[in-house]
Structure 1
Amino acid sequence: MASTIKDKFAHLRIPLEVVVKATNNFHHDNIIGHGVPGTAYRGQLLQSKIFREITARRFDWKHGEGHLEFLRESTVLLDLEHTNLVSVIGFCDEKDEKIIVTRYEAKGNLGRYLNSPKLTWTQRLRVCVGVARALSYLHDVKGRDYSVIHCNINSDMILLDENWEAKLCGFEHSIKQVEHNKDEVSPCEHIGTMGCMDPEIEKTGGVTHKSDTYSFGVILFEVLCGRRAFIDDHENEANRFLVSLAKYHYENKSLQDILNVDLYDRMSPQSVLKCSKLAYSCLNEDRARRPNIDDIVNQLERAVELQLRYENIVSSFFFIIIFFLHCHS
């Protein structure tokens, strides 16, 4: 990390010995995530005489880009603060160790719950609202001289706290864009996760804020359909990629055929229509025709309102039936 960054965030520096103790010397039993750019450990960090549940992301410098990925993520997370971004506790940069310490989120990531009835349709909508608000904050330049393109939006990068509130993470490939022109294409070596990648990247040689919009549209269809964007199923080639499957059914007005069966009976038809229409528009191959992030936030907030109104009507209907049956029993 550059010395200027070290100086600016000196108050967030955590000694290596403290991180080692918090993770029980990076014990394998504490691993909660593994892969490039490194390994994530769960731990307990003692601060101000209070133990805090933490996640320590230990960047692997041996694979060649760990230092750069640590620098990218730390300069984004340490400088930004939003209720729907993962909460940073501090960082460690000593003895070849590069670690970012964040608050541990109790429910894990959204990907774990895509096909689970534990995550209701209302909760899914609220999660999507939270992610959209986080992106609105990242893409905006109010109060700072740059915006941020996440570059790797997928369901594993959306953490859920104990109240199922969304916390966006995974900024190791993010780009700070100083220019205020959101149509400016920024070169990006990492082009995203299989099934979530903006197809315009290959044509233009880089990303824009609308690349995040495309990936977010994939997320919307994931929560609607209860499945991942990409399934490695060689026996069913047509269904491997959710985007092509969802677009086909949306255009043929048969989306109900692939909606999450565990949630379908509890979903407001109006909220599903609004959410699916929004998801489809995010996947437009023409970046310029994809909706802007603030419109996405507004549309999703409206979808939540429609769902809550539907639930109130259904609840009132059942109450009336039960009351009627009781009076005539």
Structure 2
Amino acid sequence: MYKLRELHEPEYTEEDLNFLLASGGICRCFSLAEILLATNNFDEECLIGKGGSAKVYKGVIDDGATTVAIKRLSYISKQAVGSMFRTEIEMLSKFRHSHLVSLVGYCHEWHEMILVFEYISQGTLSDHLHQSFVKGYDTLSWIQRLKICIGAAQGLDYLHTGTSTSQRVIHRDVKSTNILLDGNLEAKIADFGISKIVATNQGCTYVSTAVRGTFGYMDPSYFTTGRLTRKSDVYAFGVVLFEVLSGRRAVNLSRDDEQLGLAGWAQNCIKQGRMNEIIDSNLKMQISKKSLLAFVKIASQCLNAQPSCRPTIAEVVVILEFSLALQGNSDATPIKGAIYTGYSGRCSTAVEVVYGKNHVKPFEINRWRATFSRKVCQILSTSIRSSSG
């Protein structure tokens, strides 16, 4: 039997009421009775995930017509939970993208703060990488992993650059458990509870804020300075890329000091010429050398100690797509392409064409107004030179 925490209605502030009123027209407002019916009174058999701040239940709404994921925030404090609750509603009511999880609605009755999302059937990227046997998932192939990374990167790119002309979003908690996979293994970024919306006209490239995030994925520069930038998400995504390549967790307390943190260990392996040690044993017979080198180079750049030296997420998307195209070509098929560099020394136009079997073009960039960093262009041009016949 479900029991309410209090026997009286909570006292909403005027700010709370204005917020709920404003949100009412954007997404659906569920009653607590509807949520209880959907989850069979929060039955443990419906529980599909949990963390320090929430439990997630699989539920059905609309007389069983729609399956949803119901996130019940833990009552740590009204201020802390309320902030996460508001942020997720604000983010996902404003921003829609095929690689972001969709918000269906919310419930704010008594002291409950509950979010209702589309149901993503195949769990998290972390589940597939680290618990595939337990969860009953097939091991992800290299091509599947590349496509998942590309989708997640496209979702982040939308947050960083495509939400509007006046606002940008920093996720602040990019990690493999916050990348969900649907029935087609398409990536969906989730959990926006600590995200930040940044105005593009604020005059600086960072936000000074309390340090939040997950150990192992957190940007060292952000941790030491409190300055949050989009490049903090890039760093975290770099950790995810090495997690995907290695099959190792971002942090593993059972390993020795050298291998405890994935980011530091992977960087040391690359510096010492031990790159082969990073590759998941399930992938070693699958990855082409060309695809691997492009992938590792961009992942390494994401982990650069200097945020300004990291690529943008848009550049990461380009190289991951290139890595996928390289993987798709047979080693005997030559790769042809060209880089056009502007007078500034930066590439104002980049055109890359990879010819596969029968001259199919699996990858092509023709962005006349695109600007890529010199390091990113070096990855592209080096890959072409080393692969040309």
Whether TM exceeds 0.5 here: the answer is yes
Alpha-carbon distance, 1:187 to partner: 2.8
SS in 2 for 1:253: coil
Counterparts in 2 of 1:4 and 1:135: CA distance versus 1, 3 Å: same
Alpha-carbon distance, 1:7 to partner: 2.7
The 1-side partners of 2:307 and 2:84 are apart by 27
Counterparts in 2 of 1:250 and 1:2: CA distance versus 1, 3 Å: farther
Instruction: Please name the residue that 1:44 is paired with.
Output: 60
Answer yes or no: is 1:196 the counterpart of 2:196. no
Alignment equivalent of 2:37, drawn from 21, 27, 32: 21
Instruction: Please name the residue that 1:171 is paired with.
Output: 192
Q: Contact 1:107 / 1:164 at 8 angstroms: preserved in 2?
A: yes
Cα RMSD between the aligned structures?
Answer: 2.1
Alignment equivalent of 2:269, drawn from 249, 272, 283: 249
Identify unmatched segments of 5+ residues in structure 2. Answer: 1-15, 133-137, 334-356, 358-389
Alpha-carbon distance, 1:58 to partner: 0.8
Counterparts in 2 of 1:154 and 1:31: CA distance versus 1, 3 Å: same
SS in 2 for 1:41: strand
Instruction: Please name the residue that 1:6 is paired with.
Output: 21
Counterparts in 2 of 1:223 and 1:110: CA distance versus 1, 3 Å: same
The 1-side partners of 2:145 and 2:203 are apart by 28
Q: Contact 1:191 / 1:201 at 8 angstroms: preserved in 2?
A: no
The 1-side partners of 2:56 and 2:97 are apart by 22
Alignment equivalent of 1:106, drawn from 102, 121, 124: 121
Answer yes or no: is 1:85 the counterpart of 2:105. no
Q: Which amino acid aligns with 2:141?
A: T
Q: Contact 1:59 / 1:67 at 8 angstroms: preserved in 2?
A: no
Q: How does 1:115-264 map to 2 (within 5 A)?
A: 115=130, 116=132, 118-140=139-161, 143-180=164-201, 184-233=205-254, 236-264=256-284
The 2-side partners of 1:36 and 1:189 are apart by 18
SS in 1 for 2:59: strand
Q: Contact 2:89 / 2:103 at 8 angstroms: preserved in 1?
A: no
The 2-side partners of 1:75 and 1:105 are apart by 21
Q: Contact 1:247 / 1:280 at 8 angstroms: preserved in 2?
A: yes
The 1-side partners of 2:208 and 2:242 are apart by 27
More moved, 111-120 vs 247-256: 111-120
Counterparts in 2 of 1:44 and 1:289: CA distance versus 1, 3 Å: same
The 1-side partners of 2:330 and 2:113 are apart by 49
Answer yes or no: is 1:268 the counterpart of 2:288. yes
Counterparts in 2 of 1:182 and 1:283: CA distance versus 1, 3 Å: farther
Q: Contact 2:107 / 2:113 at 8 angstroms: preserved in 1?
A: yes
Alpha-carbon distance, 1:299 to partner: 0.8
More moved, 117-126 vs 168-177: 117-126
The 1-side partners of 2:324 and 2:215 are apart by 29
SS in 2 for 1:39: strand
Q: Which amino acid aligns with 2:18?
A: S
The 2-side partners of 1:142 and 1:253 are apart by 40
Counterparts in 2 of 1:266 and 1:180: CA distance versus 1, 3 Å: farther
The 2-side partners of 1:211 and 1:260 are apart by 26
The 1-side partners of 2:97 and 2:105 are apart by 16
Alignment equivalent of 2:51, drawn from 31, 35, 49: 35
Alpha-carbon distance, 1:277 to partner: 0.4
TM-score (norm 2): 0.75
Higher relative contact order (Cα pairs below 8 Å, separated by 6+ residues): 1
Alpha-carbon distance, 1:258 to partner: 2.3
Q: Contact 1:185 / 1:204 at 8 angstroms: preserved in 2?
A: no
SS in 2 for 1:107: coil
Identify unmatched segments of 5+ residues in structure 1. Answer: 317-329
Alpha-carbon distance, 1:31 to partner: 1.2
Q: Contact 1:61 / 1:67 at 8 angstroms: preserved in 2?
A: no
Give 4+ residue runs of structure 1 displaced > 6 Å after superposition. Answer: none
More moved, 160-169 vs 181-190: 181-190
Counterparts in 2 of 1:8 and 1:73: CA distance versus 1, 3 Å: closer
More moved, 90-99 vs 187-196: 187-196
**What are the superposed Cα offsets for residues 10-45 of structure 1, whole Å, 9 maximum, x if unpaired?**
352122211111111111111112232221111111
Alpha-carbon distance, 1:189 to partner: 2.6
Alpha-carbon distance, 1:101 to partner: 0.5
Q: Which amino acid aligns with 1:59?
A: L
Answer yes or no: is 1:283 the counterpart of 2:303. yes
Counterparts in 2 of 1:104 and 1:202: CA distance versus 1, 3 Å: same
Q: Contact 2:211 / 2:222 at 8 angstroms: preserved in 1?
A: no
Alpha-carbon distance, 1:310 to partner: 3.9
Instruction: Please name the residue that 1:326 is paired with.
Output: none
Alpha-carbon distance, 1:191 to partner: 2.6
Instruction: Please name the residue that 2:344 is paired with.
Output: none
The 2-side partners of 1:114 and 1:306 are apart by 23
The 1-side partners of 2:189 and 2:243 are apart by 16
Counterparts in 2 of 1:50 and 1:30: CA distance versus 1, 3 Å: closer
